[in-house]
Structure 1
Amino acid sequence: MEMYVIDGNFEEVCPEKVIKFKPPLYKQRYQFVRDFVDQHKPKKVADLGCGDTELLRLLKIYPCIQRLVGVDIDKEKLQSNGHQLSPYLGEFVKPRDLDLTVILYHGSVVERDSRLLGFDLITCIELIEHLDSDDLARFPEVVFGYLSPAMIVISTPNSEFNPLFPTVTLRDADHKFEWNRMEFQTWALQVANRYHYSVEFTGVGEPPAGAEHVGYCTQIGVFRKNSGKVTELCFPEQHDQHVYE
């Protein structure tokens, strides 16, 4: 992966240092998910906090996927971008072997909806840092405990990388927090242990030469449900619980 620093010399451009990722960081995150789908061949995939639905559009082409769901709290974004998930002309000319159903839901990721039960993969790309403390506390019990998919991919900013950006405190005005690697890994391990998942850590967005110690710009946790383990939490109301629009 190439990385550019304006004027070539990282130290000389301080304090107005600019890091450009190639490909752009959001594309690297999406490519990580695409490679993961390619490797694990999930049939049912949900993207929580799907925003402009770009990741869903990229995943549509994978023949293994038979159900693709996006959930977002921003109804306007879903309405303005949803039409781009309609079939292309080429998809009629050369139909898929397996039918694909694409569904967009308006709702909060910390609400339980039984239509998201039994999924192979749930992705949460740059989502958790937008949750306030109450929602963050509810997030694991809904996503890991109730929905309990086979695999979960969570990405979030790595705050240790932030000093390399010009005048950055938080990367986005809507972020409620940004964790360093220890904070994210501590949270992730606690969640994994509680809900019987294993977790591995990786990331995208490599630091420039000389700053390797800060780690990836985006940190990623890959969670896999432990086989044979049944979550102790029981949800008697889990059938036909529809809260999303």
Structure 2
Amino acid sequence: MIPSLAPCFSGTFIRFKDGLALPGEHASAVSGRDLLETDVIERLMVRFAEVYPGGDRRALVSMWAQWHFGALIIPTTAAIVFLGRDLPVELDQVSIALHEGGQTAAIIVPDDGASLPPRGTDRFTRLFARHVGPLVRHLAGQFGVSPRLLWSNAADIFEWTLQQAAVDDRANPGALAEGQTLLQSKSDGGGQPNPMFGLVKYLPQDGQTIRRRKVCCLRYLLPGIECCGGICPTPPKMWLSQKGPVMTTVRTS
């Protein structure tokens, strides 16, 4: 855990304290920019496929992206919302510590950042425009996975993080509002289509309000991994027959 960010990681967020790290905390790492190299990311996917032998290729890429976005988005968003930290998380600034199976274990940032202006905007530009966006484009292009599926993974994790932070009195209302705008606006600040718009919704069902993704992450196509439950927009018929009524689920990976 980065010492200056320690106040972020209590309660729900304690299990994400090691998602960000400083140089020297991990014995080896891959440069973030190397994830945009065809051979590097292919080798990682081959390693990851050994964790889920026989798994659907699209689902493997989707699940790998969820691991990566969980390590990246949750602690970075917590640092922005709780501490007003501007972290250098651009893909070409960071390194990636890996688990044995090729999944992201931590995002290694060059330093612990600086304070954001008290009334700053574009707090999340480094995170989404300069890390998530380039990585989504490369994964989609190399592996033929839908960009919308990958952005849905990112939006799901980001929306969950904002949801959890919103119940904490330490959260900055302006940062929370800016985050919600990223999820609810049809276009970004430059007038381009917003890739996260509408990808997580709250819908009425059987007298309840349920949280649901718009695009399935395909994780149920991996051996040993069940469907996400109520958050899945298209739960497999087999799951429905075994599990009964769809219930609300909040998932972070």
Answer yes or no: same fold by TM over 0.5. no
- Over alpha carbons, which structure has the higher Rg? 1
The structure with the largest strand share of the pair is: 1
Length-normalised TM-score, structure 2: 0.28
The structure with the largest helix share of the pair is: 2
Length-normalised TM-score, structure 1: 0.28
